[in-house]
Amino acid sequence: MTGSPLPGVCDELDLASAESGPQRTQTLQARGSALASPGEQLRLLNSLPLAGESFDAALAESGCPDLRPARLDVFQINIGRLCNMTCRHCHVDAGPDRVAENMDRETIDLCLAALDRTTAHTVDITGGAPELNPHFRPLVDQCLARGKQVMDRCNLTVLLLPRFADLPEWFAARGVEVVCSLPHYRKRNTDAQRGDGTFEKSIEALRRLNAAGYGRGDRHRRLTLVTNPGGAFLAPPQAATEREWRAGLARNHGVGFDRLIALNNMPIGRFLEWLQESGNLQAYTELLTQSFNPGAVCGLMCRSTLSVSWDGTLYDCDFNQMLDLPAQAPHERRPHIRDFDPAAWQARRIRTGRHCFGCTAGAGSS
């Protein structure tokens, strides 16, 4: 695998730039920030003077001493960090300049070969904006041909780029679940995180998805919204939030959705930078630690997910991927999808760190 731009990706980037989505900031990488380095992010997190124990100690106290894999249900493929947006809270540090980090065809084929050897029923395709990868549609079709459910993690605004205008119907014809980021059902809260104009574009994208049959209770056209807090606090209770959002979006904009997932922001990537710059890092990390909920441990995504990065490296989850904490592998080698061994995967010990408290705080965030 190489880090060089893929054939077609530069063209896609030019198009994305010409009709770019809203920009809240620039990527850490484009700004030359020290936090562009996963090692620097880990160093910063580990340098905080926290009164609580390590995540592993908190697990042990909860009666779950060793985080062990359960059945593998979700095969997650991060097909690139290219995005038409640069949201403030992005833990991936995705953006229009991330041209080099995009999965090539060879790695996609390796993923498909590995997928055939797993028990996973769902393929979770994420990015960046995964739709920008020229191999996105063939990958979706290949997964569906294998009888898998497919989820597309969509930033919504990408659906307004002219060459993606057919995507809602294309998804609907295939039964792809569309999982969309929408920080809030009010314009001000959403634009503050994702850039001016995001909310209007997102509502227009939701209307197009509704017109294609999404958000109307059809399990083959499921529209999931993902919300995350606009500041250094935990995600609100999910059921009440879903009711409020459903009413607000229907009343104000006439759009519907099928379910809402409320997630905590992880202290990773650009959200970590915002925490540091706003003076919230210490207090937020303490909040995550003190809000440890043993009831969230069973459902941690790392127990039932395999996460593959654009270059084929294997991780326990998307968050470990962004901190470049590869999954445990025999012989200390960096695990790669070409060497995927289902038995070794199920026998591994999941790697943890302070960031894991973000997954177990409050109602949990996996």
Binding stretches for ligand SF4 (CB under 6 A): 300-302, 316-317, 319-320, 350, 352, 355-356, 359, 366
Nearer to ligand SF4 (CB atom), residue 123 or residue 306: 306
CB of 323 to ligand SF4, least distance (A): 8
Distance CA 366, CA 262 (A): 10
User: Using an 8 Å Cβ cutoff, are 151 and 179 in contact?
Assistant: yes
Nearer to ligand SF4 (CB atom), residue 127 or residue 267: 267
CB of 186 to ligand SF4, least distance (A): 29
**Residue whose pair of structure tokens reads 């920009």 in the numeric block:** 23
CB of 69 to ligand SF4, least distance (A): 11
CB of 315 to ligand SF4, least distance (A): 8
Nearer to ligand SF4 (CB atom), residue 114 or residue 350: 350
Distance CA 185, CA 196 (A): 14
User: Using an 8 Å Cβ cutoff, are 225 and 245 in contact?
Assistant: yes
Nearer to ligand SF4 (CB atom), residue 189 or residue 291: 291
CB of 295 to ligand SF4, least distance (A): 14
In the chain, what's the furthest Cα-to-Cα distance? 57
User: Using an 8 Å Cβ cutoff, are 21 and 157 in contact?
Assistant: yes
CB of 91 to ligand SF4, least distance (A): 10
**Residue whose pair of structure tokens reads 């390590």 in the numeric block:** 54
Is the link from the previous residue into 128 a cis peptide, with omega within 30 of 0?
A: yes
Beta strands (DSSP E) in the chain are: 74-78, 122-126, 149-154, 177-181, 223-227, 259-262, 305-308, 314-315
Nearer to ligand SF4 (CB atom), residue 310 or residue 357: 357
Nearer to ligand SF4 (CB atom), residue 153 or residue 355: 355
User: Using an 8 Å Cβ cutoff, are 91 and 359 in contact?
Assistant: no
Map residue 210 onto helix, strand or coil: helix
